[in-house]
Amino acid sequence: MSTPSPKGQLTRDEVAHLAHLSRLACSDEELDLFAGQLAAVLDAVAQVGKADVTDVAPTTHAVPMTNVMRPDVARPSLPRDVVLAGAPAAEDDRFRVPRILGEES
């Protein structure tokens, strides 16, 4: 098991990396702010490590879960034009997205 970073070890660069992984562009001011706040939050939440959880199973859900199945029967879905009406961009009855591959591809 890995050891959580001690207080203050979540650096600005680490926050920038996590923001990138989360697809969040952050300003320099935000990165500075979050680095300090997240270090404090991590220090507080690291208390969970104090609990003796030997042989304790994790709770994945608050209620007993069973797989839910339904008959494989076609049903009407939302009309395509209604769904596309809420999209930022649509074209030819589809969601239009920015290019995914770079120029060189």
* Residue 83 beta carbon to other proteins: minimum distance, rounded to whole angstroms: 6
8-17, long-range: CB < 8 A, 24+ apart: 8/39, 8/43, 9/39, 10/35, 10/38, 10/39, 10/42, 11/35
Choose, by CB under 8 A, the member of 7, 8, 32, 49 that binds other proteins: 49
What residues line the site for other proteins (CB under 8 A)? 1-4, 10, 15, 18-27, 30, 33-34, 37-38, 40-42, 44-51, 53, 56-63, 65, 68, 70, 78, 82-83, 85-89, 95, 97-102
